[in-house]
Structure 1
Amino acid sequence: MNRAKGIWLGTLALLYCSFWVWYGGNGDPITQAEGEKMLNQIEHVHGVKFEDTPEGSMSRNLRTMLPHDDGKEFYAVNLEIRNKGAKAKEAEARYGEIVIPLLLKRGGHPVFVSERAGLMLGKYGERIDRVAVVRYRSLRDLLDMVGDERMVGGNKYKSASLAHTEVFITRPTITFVQVRLMLGMLFLILGFVGWKLIGLRQNRKRDTDAGA
């Protein structure tokens, strides 16, 4: 292996390892003290006290998650009933402009977004307009994102775009959404293509030098 090919493969390997570490999903569990501190920050930023929040609120549900956290990634399943009209669509776009960067900064991202096309079983689904699944790197990252001051504006737009949302947390038993694997395959392809291009360039240079 010559120097140019080694540098190319080493660069790709370094980039992939850096992504692997940053993408995370298998960190240390959040402590009760750390979680309580972050929840207090959320209450301060959003101007809401825990004792004033109703049953089913995010503050209460996140607090019950603290003792059971394992530090690993999870997926939030959002069942959404949308408001109608142009103003609701505009608010939805503004919400995305705020939330998506905050998600990506913390290794989170949407996994699946789908409009309801029909009803197969039961009745509750008749009320649902859209299902969205979002990956979070950890509970710590979720709390950190919700405690970001930009989420105050985000929640305003979310309320304007959605009539109601139910969100529950899941951990996958079976999943074919493998971001690390897909990125790894992409890097393998880039590595192979780069290897070949470097070889072709070096062969042409040798041929040119030999003919001179």
Structure 2
Amino acid sequence: MRAKQIMTQDVATIRGSASVAEAVRLLRLKGLRALIVEPRHSGDAYGIVTVADIAGKVVAYGKDPDKVNVYEIMSKPCIVVDPDLDVEYVARLLTTTNVWCAPVIRGELIGVISVTDIVGKDDFIAKPKLVFLRKELHKAISDARAISANYGPDSKRAIEAWDFVDEIEAEARYYGLPKTEKSSRELFSEQPQSVTPSLQAKVAV
């Protein structure tokens, strides 16, 4: 599952020069908890203003929301998310940076993704990451074995295939796959390798 598959495409933006009172009206109208602050020019960064910013920096100090500008309380530059980023990495990013949501940007603003989107729309309950990685690892090992048999274990294609196995295996272990004494590549290298039909032909000649 990628960020672009669960993000909210209906994004509400506001100018940094707008008043906090305007931001509150827009938040209430849209039923949102955050607004993306538009960049002032092509080289400028996006910002974000949340209900927490308004409560903690305006309401808590008894300030007049009509006299406080959004740029005074917003976060800028803000954390941004690539639309092709896997959801688990988005969740990790939002958690480690202690932010509730972030704009999804690929050249331009295309959506916003929040913790609520991740918990409410992602299928992590039905399809845990480790279950998915186990299946991918099994397939990668099967492919690497076939490539090694057809092209030789020392061929470039076989080496690349086993490199891919190592990558998936490492990621799966991060998500809880029990660590074994030897990797799948090492176990394969210790097995007697049969001679491929193409090699048999060369030997016969």
**How high is the TM-score relative to the length of structure 1?**
0.27
Greater share of helix residues, 1 or 2?
1
Larger Rg, first or second structure (1 or 2): 2
**How high is the TM-score relative to the length of structure 2?**
0.28
